[in-house]
Amino acid sequence: MDIADLLSSDGVVLRGGVSSKRQALGAVADLAANAFGLDATKALDALLEREALGSTGLGYGVAVPHARVEGLERVCGVFVRLDSPVAYESLDDRPVDLLFGLFAPPSAGAEHLRALAVVSRAMRSPELRERLRQAQTVDGVQALFVQTGSAAAA
C-alpha cells in the first residue's frame, strides 16, 4: 500500500482559521466529504467517536484521525496542514498542525490497519514533517507523499 494511493487528487488542503481540535477534525471531515462524497456531519461524528476512545495525536505535531464510515468502497485519506497548531491531547502533549485523516468502509479490517501503519510510519520521519510544513502549494504536498511512497517501495 502506497501513501499517495490513499489521497484523492483533491484530498489536500493548507488551511488557517482553525483554533481547536474539534475544528481541526471538522476540517478533515469537510475535506473528506468533498473528496469522497461523504456526509460531512457523519464523517465528523465518526471521527469524534473514534477520538473519544483515545487521542489520535501521534506526537511531533502530527495526528492521524481515522474512522469507519458508510459509503466508501476502499480506505482513502485526506491531508490538512494548519497554519497554526492546535491543542490535541497528543502523546507528547504538543499541539498538532499536520493531520492525515483516514476513512474506511465498515468492512475494511486489515486494510484499514495497513493504511494506519503506512501513514504512521511515514509521518514519523522528521524530514517529511519538515518538508510538509515548508511546502508552499497543495501540489507540493502531494508530490512529497508520492516521493515518500516511491522511497518506501525502493
Q: What residues pair up with 109 in beta bridges, in sequence order? A: none
Rounded distance, CA 83 to CA 81, Å? 7
CATH architecture of 3-153: 3-Layer(aba) Sandwich (3.40)
List of residues 6+ apart from 130 with CB closer than 8 A: none
pLDDT in tens, 120-153: 999 999 999 999 999 999 999 999 998 886 555 4
Identify residue 18 by its one-letter amino acid code.
Answer: V
Catalytic residue check, 66? yes
Q: Which pTM was predicted?
A: 0.94
Q: Report which secondary-structure segment, H or E, holds 50.
A: helix 40-53
Question: pLDDT (tens digit, 9 = 90+) per residue, 51-87?
Answer: 999 999 999 999 999 999 998 999 999 999 999 999 9
Residue 147, Cβ neighbours under 10 Å: how many? Answer: 14
List 58, 64, 66, 75, catalytic entry: 66
Dihedral angle sign, alpha carbons of residues 45, 51, 57, 61: positive
